[in-house]
Amino acid sequence: MKIGLYGMNLGPCAEPETAARVARLAEDAGFESLWTAEHVVLPDPQVPPSPVPPQTRLLDPAVALAFAAAHTRRVRLATGIVILPQRNPVVLAKEMASLDVLSNGRLELGVGAGYLRAEFAAIGAPFAERGARTDEYLDAMVALWTQEKPRFDGRFVSFAGVDAHPRPVQKPHPPIHVGGQSDGAYRRAVTRGRGWYGFALDLAGTRRCLEGLARAAREVERPAPLAAQGPLEITITPPPGAGPDDVARYAELGVHRLVLLALGRSGDEIAAFVEKAGREMVGRA
């Protein structure tokens, strides 16, 4: 079981001193990866399903991970997730390739389709088409990263006669993890993802989502290049309070990575959490 840390651009970790301190502590404690959240804007006042108050400090994922990369050497750097249909995929491909280069090949790209209508409206991105755009944007980004002469002709994005360097360090491209708990997300993970990411899932919720992924695997074919990399890698962020005994429980379900919420109202509290989790959970994984 791999153990990651979630929230590297959130709350106290949106302060540079805390972000650098926590990143170094997590790497020294043996955490495998550091994960970021994303919301460009949040509804004000907060209304369901918005996850946090609108005044929550939340750095851009690429900027936060580049900062973490400069303060670490080995730990993986993951977006958990980027809301892909709100982004220009050509620009995002450049940003993520740049991050992979500057981190010496440590990027794990998590993407999702999003769910906050107010956020889509503020950005000017169509909400109803978000699933179809997520699929196409992923394909366009992979084309830019892998084709000798990149070319793509889709419904939402098209390009030819262009190129973009540097390419990512990781070949053929950084691992893609698909987030989401819908049938569309499950199919997207099977057909386009190295892995699938589930947020705030207890054991019962994890089991339900794994059943959804298994159902999708019977309905759509996994491309041979992805199948050759092995089974779909399952990453879960458990609810707050997960402890050492939960590592084995999630592993029994087929989970490959647990990404723990960085709990604390201050840098000192988060640092204490990282050190404690490092002793009690990373060592047992």
Read out DSSP for 11-70?
GGGGSHHHHHHHHHHHHHHT--EEEE---SS--SS--TT--S-TT--B--HHHHHHHHHH
Instruction: Give the mean model confidence (pLDDT) for residues 209-222.
Output: 98
CA 184/CA 258 separation, integer angstroms: 23
User: How many CB atoms are located within 10 Å of the residue 45 CB?
Assistant: 8
% of the chain beyond a pLDDT of 70: 99
The tokens for 282 are: 């990373």
The tokens for 224 are: 């041979």
CATH assignment of the domain containing 98: 3.20.20.30
Q: What is the pTM of this model?
A: 0.97
**In terms of Cα–Cα distance, which of 94, 166, 83, 164 is closest to 126?**
83
Q: Report pLDDT digits (tens) over 176-189.
A: 999 999 999 999 99
Q: Report pLDDT digits (tens) over 5-39.
A: 999 999 999 999 999 999 999 999 999 999 999 99
Instruction: Give the mean model confidence (pLDDT) for residues 109-134.
Output: 98
Residue 208 confidence (pLDDT)? 98
Strand partners, 6: 35, 261
Instruction: Give the mean model confidence (pLDDT) for residues 170-179.
Output: 98
User: How many CB atoms are located within 10 Å of the residue 191 CB?
Assistant: 18
Enclosing domain of residue 127: 2-284
Count how many domains the chain has.
1
